[in-house]
Amino acid sequence: MSSEHISDHLRQRVKDRANGLCEYCQSPDKYSIASFHCDHIMPKKESGKTEFANLAFACPSCNTHKYTKTVAPDPQTREKVPLFNPRSQNWKEHFQWSNDFILILGKTSIGRATVKALNMNKDKHIESRKLLKNAGKHPPT
């Protein structure tokens, strides 16, 4: 959802907690022309609050694809599962990089569903990761 009504102070805290990385696709805000958003993990539409515990730092792409979704089908089983929650779950438990660090692979049903729903391996992500990798700025540490 949009980051309107989020104070600069709160936004900065959310960004700092995330080390300036999208909490879904791990892309760095630092090298993005478009400003990152504060995603409402539980959407405002479903009474999610604009508070530190319900916000995730998200690139415009992940934020837009997530929109008001909280569940999505696991592409392997077609079963609907919750999307990855950066506040209560660990990225490395649900995702891993491909051997060349260009693709994000879902390790669990939640990971697979989130990669697909948020389109975390779209062409622009791939091109950006290749550039950052060549510049020694990817994968993030």
Q: What is the DSSP string of 110-126?
A: HHHHHHHHTTTT-HHHH
Choose the binding region for Zn ion from 24-32, 44-52, 73-81, 96-104 (rule: CB under 5 A).
Answer: 24-32
Among 1, 59, 110, 113, binds Zn ion (CB under 5 A): 59
Q: Is the dihedral of CA 18, 119, 124, 11 positive or negative?
A: negative
Instruction: Considering only CA atoms, give the Rg of the chain.
Output: 14
Question: CB 53: neighbour CB atoms within 10 A?
Answer: 9
Question: CA-to-CA distance for 13 and 95, rounded, in angstroms?
Answer: 24
Is 21 a residue that touches Zn ion (CB under 5 A)? no
Identity of the residue, 79 or 93, whose beta carbon is nearer to Zn ion in the bound complex: 93
Among 14, 18, 21, 22, binds Zn ion (CB under 5 A): 22
Among 24, 36, 84, 95, binds Zn ion (CB under 5 A): 24
By the 8 A CB rule, do 29 and 21 touch?
yes
**Min CB(125)–Zn ion separation in Å:** 8
**Min CB(21)–Zn ion separation in Å:** 8
Residues that bind Zn ion (CB under 5 A): 22, 24-25, 59, 62
